[in-house]
Amino acid sequence: MIGTRAKLAVAVVGVLAVATALLVFPRAHPKAPPSAPPPSKPSGHGAGIDHEFASYQALFSAPEGATPCESAYNAFQNSIDVATQQRVKPVVISLAPHDEFITHCAALPSSVQVCLPPRYRRNHGAECARAKPPADVLREISSFVHMQPPIADPEDTPGPATSASAP
């Protein structure tokens, strides 16, 4: 049998081992939550870009109408209003009066009507690409809304090797 002295010695060694472990390996303190980065200040360059594209952004921030034609008219008119107010390059050059616009738009195929509002077209690009209107419908649309031509994709622009040579 183990004597009382032996038990006492084992207990003392155990207590010393625990005390040493606590001193050598301090308890880990929970990490403080990471602080949020300071808010960034908008750069003058970024603000300038936002200003120059205000009439384009206005196409997407106009209120929804009761019909796709109303929504399209609201978007185009909002773009004109923002371009005028902020004195930036307009995206929409001219727009038919409201009633004329709605009449022309309502005469278009429904698959074209639904894709006229820029916000819808942005969110349903593949669907609207398949519903591409024929050339005569495009001419009719351009008779009641005239917009700046879109910026060409460099991949769509023929390079010197593929362009036809002029005499």
- State the pLDDT confidence band at 166, using cuts at 50, 70 and 90: very low
Q: How many domains does the chain have?
A: 1
- Tens digit of pLDDT for each residue in 21-59? 555 555 555 565 666 666 677 677 777 777 788 888 999
Q: Is residue 107 one of the residues assigned to a domain?
A: yes
* Whole-prediction pTM: 0.61
Q: Is residue 17 one of the residues assigned to a domain?
A: no
Q: Is residue 127 one of the residues assigned to a domain?
A: yes
Q: Is residue 4 one of the residues assigned to a domain?
A: no
Q: Which domain holds residue 83?
A: 51-146
Q: Is residue 155 one of the residues assigned to a domain?
A: no
pLDDT reading at 62 higher than 80: yes
Q: Is residue 162 one of the residues assigned to a domain?
A: no
- State the pLDDT confidence band at 154, using cuts at 50, 70 and 90: very low
CB 138 within 8 A of CB 149: no
Cβ neighbors of 82 (< 8 A, separation 6 or more) are 54, 55, 57, 58, 88
pLDDT of residue 149: 64
* CA 120 – CA 152 distance, rounded (Å): 21
Residue 47, φ and ψ in degrees, nearest 5? -65, -35
Q: Is residue 29 one of the residues assigned to a domain?
A: no
**Can you tell me the mean pLDDT for 115-139?**
84
* CA 138 – CA 55 distance, rounded (Å): 22
Q: Is residue 76 one of the residues assigned to a domain?
A: yes
Residue 75, φ and ψ in degrees, nearest 5? -65, -50
